[in-house]
Amino acid sequence: MNRRPVGALPTGLLVLGAIYCLLPVSWVLISASKSPGELFTLGTLTPGSGLLENVRELNAYRDGVFWRWMLNSVVYAGGGALLSTLVSAVSGFALAKYRFPGRNLIFNVLIGGILVPSVVLAVPQYLLFSKIGMADTYWAVLLPQILHPYSIYLARVYASAAVPDSLLEAGRIDGASERRLLGRVALPLMVPGMVTIFLFQFVAIWNNFLLPFLMLGDDGKFPLTVGLYSLLAAGANQPSLYNLIITGALLSIIPLIALFLTMQRYWRTDLSGGALKG
Amino acid sequence: MRTKRLAIALATMLAAGCGGAAETPAAAPATSAPAGPVSLTYWTWAPNMDKIAEVWNQANPDIKVTVSKQAGGDDAAAKFLTAAKAGNAPDLVQAEYQHLPSFIAADAVADIAAEAAAVKPEFSAGLWGLVTLGTESVYAIPQDSGPMMLYYRKDLFEKYGIGVPKTWDEYAEAARTVHKADPKVYLGSFSSKDPGWFAGLAQQAGAQWWSISGDAWKVGINDAATTKVADFWGGLVQEGVIDDMPYFTPEWNKALNDGTQLSWPSAVWGPGVLESNAPKGKGKWGIAPLPQWNAGENFSGFWGGSSTAVSAGSKNRAAAVKFATWLNTDPQGIDLLVKEAFVYPASGKGQAALGAPPAYFAESQPDFWQQAATIGTSARGFTFGPNVGVTYNAYKDAFDKALQDKSPFSASVGTMQDTTVADMQKSGFTLAQ
């Protein structure tokens, strides 16, 4: 009897949270369906009739440069997240399972690194990359994202919980080399954690704006964020291409949604696994 | 001589501004065209510039221009300055007039007087002053310009029984009439987010926010003219007869569309904005000269406009100037600028060649370009300072606050002045009192 009001409050809060998260997405969806003429005349939540026309126009914009940006984003986010996950997993495992001089120092420096927002580093990174002549290349956006302190921290926490010392010990007794232990024993156990890191990094790089904005001068190498921004800020005397930007924003979240749906399985495993073993 | 001193005065900013051992790109010595084909990069945000460059590349296989379309506005200026500091600047860059002095102060753009001085007669004195800062140097070639005029809804002016205001007093009177007739309707809006707009109106009133005397800068943002403009708008906003929503926002677009905003003091590039943001008003808008401060006067100001500058780090300065000259003074280049990039050309010849009005105005103002050209000649000259970005941000902050607190607008002008002066002192500029 008295469970009902207790249940209503959390449910209510969750519903509010869901509305809070879904409203902007539905706004994007509805606005993307409006033709330029409808965008500022129809009511905010009234769907328009121009979605296909908008997509067609976006497709035609500068000979389909949007898809090139999309591809670039996939390269930056996919490649960066994959490399970052591997580096984080290996270094997290090493920090969790090996005792060596300087281990705590490295770990403390990493913790300190988490506290430095990457935004602060963008300009120094740009100047450094300019010095070695690598600004305005794909590497200029990929490399700075590979080493990510928070991911290494996560990997360390996950490795110490998910990889039992006794298992490694047993492997050593059976004569497995350290490399083999890492590849055959530790990494498979860490897959759920690695998926988490991959998703985190993928989303972070996909949405990153400042680093590519600074690093890249050539518009053929822009990711979606910077590319769409160039449609928005077209100088005072050029109209912003609102309908293309909104449609582009809608299309740019589709890969993220697809990624989350396909990886959801692992994500869930990870949360429950962490809850039990942590 | 004066040039030298200005350069020194300006250059002090770099030392203070960047800190650390940033490398200043060595002045490119190459003034003679190098042998063999050269390749130039060009940062711009004008639409279809890649197509225009393609036409040039076809005709000039030895100078290949690669366009990289950037985001425009204040961020573009910051990005170019950073790139120049790191030695990665493109050969050519689109520079808004108000940002050019900061590029010069950072030694980021080249003095192209030797190569480009000959094109001076192509441009009006006011525009030429914007790229020379009144010195013998030439830092860019004007590309497009934005003389200001009054856009108004012909049909609704008739409906509410108001004439086109000739003076700002008449404008205020009309604002009261309209708002009285329908409290939902406003004659116009004061935008606290568009410092360039306010600067243009101040220019019309005769303001000179920056000037160079000897080797020192003089800052006069809170001069009588600017204060007069600020108080005029402040009074109307306080009275409630003028709206206070910023331009280019969705609600402003909506108001233009549904006819609750009847006019817009804007620049010659207005048609593009109206066409995309207020499609419903097609064929209903007309243009007139800005209302004047004193009956019988005929003045305007500039809002926006940009130039083509050659970066100081470019190794192919001569080739870059050649392209910039073609783009902005050759009939073919200007024609492409107008048709492909939809700009109002800075070149006098180019302005005169404009024939058919923008489609949006075809019915309501068939002589759009002729009107614009007449109004353009009345725009007053202006010198921008080396830290316009700071001033413009101060404008947004101070006027936002004034709107919120309902405090007098003239105080906000004072804040702009103080913020600008403090920033210039911090950066090591010599200031005249």
User: For the segment A139-148, what is each residue's pLDDT rounded down to a tens digit?
Assistant: 999 999 998 9
A78 and A46 in a single domain? The answer is no
- What residues in chain A have their Cβ under 8 A from chain B's Cβ atoms? 36-37, 39-41, 62, 123, 126-127, 130-131, 135-136, 213-214, 217-220, 226, 229-230, 232-242
Q: How far apart are CA B334 and CA B349, in angstroms?
A: 9
List chain B residues with CB under 8 Å of A218: 41, 68
> Are residues A240 and A203 both part of a single domain?
yes
- Does residue A59 sit within a domain? no
Tell me, yes or no, whether A246 lies in a domain: yes
Helices B74-85 and A118-131 sit at what angle, rounded to 10 degrees?
Answer: 50
Asked, for residue A153, whether it belongs to a domain, the answer is: yes
| Residues A223 and A267 placed together within one structural domain of the fold | yes
Number of domains observed in the structure of chain A: 2
Is position A47 within any domain? Answer: yes
DSSP code at position A1: -
> Which residue in the block uniquely carries the two structure tokens 């296909």?
A52
CB atoms within 10 A of CB B335: 15
Are residues A11 and A76 located together in one domain of the fold? no
Q: Map residue A180 onto helix, strand or coil.
A: helix
What residue numbers bound the domain in which A5 lies? 1-52
Same domain? A99 vs A3: no
- In sequence order, what are the beta bridge partners of B206? none
Rg value, chain A, Cα: 23
Taking CA atoms, what residue in A is nearest to B48? A62
How many C-beta atoms surround the C-beta of residue A99 within 10 A? 6
A115 and A91 part of one domain: yes
Statement to judge: residues A30 and A78 lie in one domain: no
- Could you tell me the pLDDT band of residue A264, with boundaries at 50, 70 and 90? confident
> What is the phi/psi pair of residue B355, to 5°?
-110, -85
Q: Is B219:B421 a contact under the CB 8 Å cutoff?
A: yes
Residues on chain B touching A242 (C-beta within 8 angstroms): 276-277
Dist CA B319 CA B73 (whole Å): 26
Q: How far apart are CA B327 and CA B107, in angstroms?
A: 24
**Among A13-27, A262-276, B127-141, B220-234, the least confident range:** A262-276
Of B70, B83, B278, the CB nearest to A230: B70
Beta bridge partners of B292: B167
Asked if residue B171 lies in contact with residue B293, where contact means CB atoms within 8 angstroms, the answer is no
Neighbours of B88 (CB within 10 A): 22
CA distances from B318 to B31, B38, B114, B117, B323 (A): 5, 11, 10, 13, 9
Average per-residue pLDDT for chain A: 87
pLDDT in the model for residue B24: 39
Nearest to A166 by CA among A101, A97, A103: A97
Q: Do A30 and A95 belong to one domain? A: no
A35 and A105 in a single domain? The answer is no
* B238/B403 Cα distance (integer angstroms): 9
The pair of structure tokens assigned to B341 is: 């990039």
Instruction: Kindly state whether residues A241 and A267 are assigned to the same domain.
Output: yes
At position B216, the amino acid (one-letter code) is: A
**Testing the interface with A: which of B39, B40, B41, B69 to mutate, by most A Cβ within 10 A?**
B69
DSSP notation for B276-323: HH-GGGTTTEEEEPPPBSSTT---B-EEEEEEEEEBTT-S-HHHHHHH
Residue A57 resides in a domain:
no
Please return the burial class of A43, using the count of CB atoms within 10 Å of its CB with bins 0-12, 13-18 and 19+. exposed
pLDDT tens, per residue, chain B with 433 residues: 344 444 444 433 333 333 333 333 444 444 444 557 899 999 998 888 999 999 999 999 999 999 998 888 778 888 999 999 988 899 999 999 999 999 999 999 999 999 988 899 999 888 898 999 888 899 999 999 999 999 999 999 999 999 999 999 999 999 999 999 999 999 999 999 999 999 999 999 999 999 888 788 999 999 999 999 999 999 999 999 999 999 988 889 889 988 999 999 999 989 888 888 888 889 999 999 999 999 999 999 999 899 999 999 999 999 999 999 999 999 999 999 988 888 899 998 888 888 888 889 999 999 999 999 889 888 888 889 999 989 999 999 999 999 999 999 999 999 999 999 999 999 999 998 6
- Specify the higher pLDDT residue, A24 or B277: A24
ipTM of the complex: 0.78
B chain contacts of residue A214, beta-carbon cutoff 8 Å: 79, 82
Query: Is residue A211 assigned to a domain?
Result: yes
pLDDT in tens, A175-197: 999 999 999 889 988 988 999 89
DSSP 3-state of B433: coil
In chain B the domains, ranked by start, together with CATH numbers, are 2-146+302-356 (3.40.190.10), 147-301+382-426 (3.40.190.10)
- pLDDT level of residue A44 (50, 70, 90 thresholds): confident
- The verdict on residue A58 lying in a domain is no
Q: What is the predicted pLDDT for the residue at B107?
A: 93
Indicate if A30 and A75 belong to the same structural domain: no
The CATH number of the domain holding residue A156 is: 1.10.3720.10
pLDDT of residue B349: 87
Q: What DSSP state is assigned to residue B13? A: H
Query: CA A46 to CA B89: how far, in whole Å?
Result: 46
Are the beta carbons of A239 and B273 separated by less than 8 Å? yes
Handedness of CA A184, A185, A189, A190 (dihedral sign): negative
Q: Does position A251 have pLDDT exceeding 90, yes or no?
A: yes
Average pLDDT, integer, range A152-169 = 92
Supply the pLDDT for residue B280. Answer: 87
The pLDDT, as a whole number, for residue B30 is: 43
Give contacts of A37 with chain B, Cβ < 8 Å. Answer: 279-280
- Taking the C-alpha atoms of residue A208 and residue A138, their distance in angstroms, rounded to an integer, is 14
Q: What are the E-state strand segments in B77-185?
A: 92-96, 141-153
Residue A177 domain flag: yes
3-state secondary structure of A33: coil
Q: How confident is the model at residue A5 (pLDDT cuts 50, 70, 90)?
A: low
pLDDT value at residue B31: 43
Q: How confident is the model at residue A239 (pLDDT cuts 50, 70, 90)?
A: low
A21 shares its domain with A95 = no
